[in-house]
Amino acid sequence: MNELRVLIIDDEESIRHMLSMTLRKEGCTLRAVENGEDGLKELIANTYDVVLCDVRMPKMGGLELLDELRNRQIETMVIVMSAFGNRELAIDALKRGAYDYIDKPFTRDEIVLTLAKASERLRLGRENEELRARVSNQKGLGRLIGQSEPMQQVFATLKRVATFKSTVLLTGESGTGKELAARAIHELSPRSKGPFVAINCGAIPEALLESELFGHVRGAFTDASSDHEGLFQAASGGTLFLDEIAELPLSLQVKLLRVLQEGEVRRVGDTKSVPVDVRIVAASLHDMAKRVEEGLFREDLFYRINVIALRLPALRERPVDIPLLVRHFIEEQNQRQGTSVRSVDPQALEALTRYAWPGNVRELYNAIERGVVMSASEHITLDDLPPQLRQAQSPLQAVLSGDELSIKKLSAELERILITRALERTEGNRSAAARLLEISHRALLYKLKDYAIDA
């Protein structure tokens, strides 16, 4: 509560005095006035974190003050002090934007506790704001986070395609953020007020999938005891996210193609079609062109869906994003679990950045959740992380521990690390990286190829 700026508004001298004495002791910065009118003037002129305000006062009462604050868009936390038992008044105050209320008379402890709660809420609110500011600061889009060049390109494409109705096909390994990208498209689109409906085409048995997608009428099949609206209709006016589209059985691919071409769905067992206004975003783990070649996916549907294709890069292709994601996930876990972990220690960060992340960001999220839970201090150590990360010992560490003697392997490892770092520092600029490494540009190109490093 140190340095909390508090304004006291009460017409009773004794209350102003008692509050001032108590809160000054807690380290708050104070001012006290006698009525709502003076309080309003004070709030226009200066910024306060919390206002402790009586309800009945001459000139301007507490409820009127709350209305004035709302009209003038002055944001501050108002705690109303109302006579004991006057619940209706307290509820009225909350409806008008008060943050909390406290019954009069109150003890010193009660007022300190109420203020402490408000102060904690302010702190969390500020942290959230900082988090949001950091995320919107070119380092993310919607819930997607990333500052690497490949992710910046993804964000730019998502923003551009969001305004159109064209179908988007998202590809990428599991856990790369395809569903988050689909949500970002929806949220940035003119349909954002409409529904976002997601279905995993690979997770529903073929027999149910048709009625799930298109709906059915009563009696269409044995279990159809009533009419059922399909997801196409549920998503009308919004976006339908078809995850794992490659898993869609061939028989349904024909039906989907028809819906996309005609803009109408026909429920199973129905004789007529109804128009639907849905934007489709599809996703696949697989190379769809290959599925077409293998005869598993209809070519005509592929072309219909693949109007705009966007690949979400694997996490190992953008190690620069790892520290940012780690920080973000730690803060998220702290808020969820009430922990106060601050960071990962250097050895753990080294392991996090060099691990190949086959499960991509989802796996990183789970690793950090485990790290936060296991950590016994403010820092996550290597021991707190999942075993697969601890096992990913670098040849360098192996040399230090005496397990590895090959000069060839060690030099290659060193070169790989130095090249990756130089590219990170120069944000992928190869000429600048070559200068830092003190090798020729041409030599760097050979090494990039040798070590399969994607600049």
Cβ 154 to ligand ATP, closest distance in Å?
9
Question: Which residues, numbered 328-347, are part of the site for ligand ATP (CB under 6 A)?
Answer: none
Q: Report d(CA 284, CA 201) in Å as an integer.
A: 10
Cβ 135 to ligand ATP, closest distance in Å?
9
Question: Which residues, numbered 272-311, are part of the site for ligand ATP (CB under 6 A)?
Answer: 285
Task: Give all strands (DSSP E) within 292-437, no chain letters.
Answer: 308-311, 343-344, 379-380
Q: Considering only CA atoms, which of 248, 264, 257, 244 is closest in space to residue 304? A: 257
Of 62, 175, 238, 395, which lies in the binding site for ligand ATP, with binding defined by CB under 6 A?
175
With CB under 6 A as the contact rule, which of the stretches 93-101, 126-134, 359-367, 429-437 interacts with ligand ATP? 359-367
Give the position of tokens 């399969």. 452
With binding defined as CB under 6 A, does residue 79 bind ligand ATP?
Answer: no
Residue closer to ligand ATP (CB basis): 39 or 175: 175
With binding defined as CB under 6 A, does residue 247 bind ligand ATP?
Answer: no
DSSP 315: G
Residue closer to ligand ATP (CB basis): 227 or 331: 331
Q: At what angle do helices 108-136 and 321-337 cross, to 10 degrees?
A: 160
Residue closer to ligand ATP (CB basis): 40 or 322: 322
Question: Which residues, numbered 81-140, are part of the site for ligand ATP (CB under 6 A)?
Answer: none
Residue closer to ligand ATP (CB basis): 81 or 364: 364
With CB under 6 A as the contact rule, which of the stretches 345-353, 361-369, 380-388, 408-416 interacts with ligand ATP? 361-369
Of 361, 385, 433, 437, which lies in the binding site for ligand ATP, with binding defined by CB under 6 A?
361
Q: Are 53 and 62 in contact (CB under 8 A)?
A: yes
Long-range contacts, 445-453 (Cβ 8 Å, 24+): 447/415, 447/419, 448/419, 451/412, 451/415, 451/416, 451/419, 453/416, 453/419, 453/420, 453/423
Three-class secondary structure of residue 153 per DSSP? helix
With binding defined as CB under 6 A, does residue 19 bind ligand ATP?
Answer: no
Compute the C-alpha angle 173/178/181, nearest 5°: 150
Tell me the site size for ligand ATP, rule CB under 6 A. Answer: 17
Cβ 169 to ligand ATP, closest distance in Å?
13
With CB under 6 A as the contact rule, which of the stretches 98-106, 115-123, 171-179, 400-408 interacts with ligand ATP? 171-179
Give the position of tokens 């005509």. 300
Question: What DSSP string runs through 341-355?
Answer: --EE-HHHHHHHHHS
Residue closer to ligand ATP (CB basis): 178 or 416: 178
Q: Could you tell me the two tokens for 65?
A: 């003050």
Chain residue whose CB lies nearest ligand ATP: 177
Q: Considering only CA atoms, which of 80, 75, 146 is closest in space to residue 312? A: 146
With CB under 6 A as the contact rule, which of the stretches 12-20, 24-32, 173-181, 416-424 interacts with ligand ATP? 173-181
Of 20, 157, 174, 426, which lies in the binding site for ligand ATP, with binding defined by CB under 6 A?
174
Q: Report d(CA 411, CA 72) in Å as an integer.
A: 66
Q: Are 415 and 405 in contact (CB under 8 A)?
A: no
With CB under 6 A as the contact rule, which of the stretches 31-39, 167-175, 202-210, 418-426 interacts with ligand ATP? 167-175
Interacting residues toward ligand ATP by CB under 6 A: 143-146, 172, 174-180, 243, 285, 361-362, 365
